[in-house]
Amino acid sequence: MVTIKSDNGKVITCIDDWFSFSPPAKGAIQWKDGRSAKELAKAWFRTGKPQMPDELVLLLESHPVTYGFQAEIGIPEKETVLDDFGGSGRIHDMVLIGNTNAGRILIAIEAKTDESFGPKIGTYIESSVRDNPRSRVPERIRQLSMGVFGHTNVADLRYQLLHAVAGTLIEAKNQGASVAVLVIHEFVPVGRKSDKARENEEDLATFIERLSERLHTLPTSRLIGPFHVPGSGKIPSNIPLYIGKIETVC
């Protein structure tokens, strides 16, 4: 059985603990049935005890690198420092640390309902500089882009995906893991997917295509990779990255 703890070490034994010790950034506004923060917590406490959701188990069992994964610790709302520019880092919806026979693995989970993957990077840079001409956002994005892609031609990509990949790799290094896995956990309302969810699928496919320089499909419950990044700043170049997606009807 996995132990779930807050980023400051408080043990989480139920959904109420999750909200008390590791609330989402906007607190009760985001903590609602049908929204990703609470649905993720509910998925981990389906039996009343902390347990990996069956969908995640199936995903990890689908690939030889993650087959037999044994979870040790899960940390909701885990922050990863991305650079030395100050401000907030990458806030993972959950970080999961564990082992296989082959070594230590770091899994970062990004939960979604119909929320987007953030603004497009070009738009985000423009608005940040307009609001604050001394903003460090352009330099942060330049460094992250060089570390993940080796170039800065990323204006059409979603900022949150760049953040997520960089944060997953950095946290894998921080935790002494030899493999990094980014999992998108989508919560789908009964009977339909929203237009925003379909847009997310397209944005994710575009990001992966740019990451690998070739078209990849991302079937549900299957990992793809490894992807290898050039590294820069805090982003390591020697940790392989895998990406997967799971879905839960809620």
95-105 pLDDT, tens digit per residue, is 999 999 889 99
Query: In this predicted structure, what is the pLDDT of residue 194?
Result: 75
Q: Is the per-residue pLDDT at 81 higher than 70?
A: yes
Query: In this predicted structure, what is the pLDDT of residue 84?
Result: 86
Query: Residues 208, 241: contact at Cβ < 8 Å?
Result: no
Q: Tell me the average pLDDT of the chain.
A: 93
92-132 pLDDT, tens digit per residue, is 999 999 999 889 999 999 999 888 899 999 999 999 999 88
Average pLDDT, stretch 186-215?
A: 84
Q: Is the per-residue pLDDT at 207 higher than 70?
A: yes
Query: Residues 186, 112: contact at Cβ < 8 Å?
Result: yes
Percent of the residues in the chain that have a pLDDT greater than 90, as a whole number: 78
13-43 pLDDT, tens digit per residue, is 999 999 999 999 999 999 999 899 999 999 9
pTM: 0.95
**How are strands ordered across the β-sheet holding 70-80?**
11-12, 3-5, 70-80, 90-100, 103-112, 179-188, 241-249, 224-227
Cα separation values, 90 from 62, 80, 149, 164, 233, Å: 27, 5, 18, 7, 15
Give the span between the Cα atoms of 30 and 36, in whole angstroms: 8
Residue 72: count of CB within 10 angstroms of its CB: 11
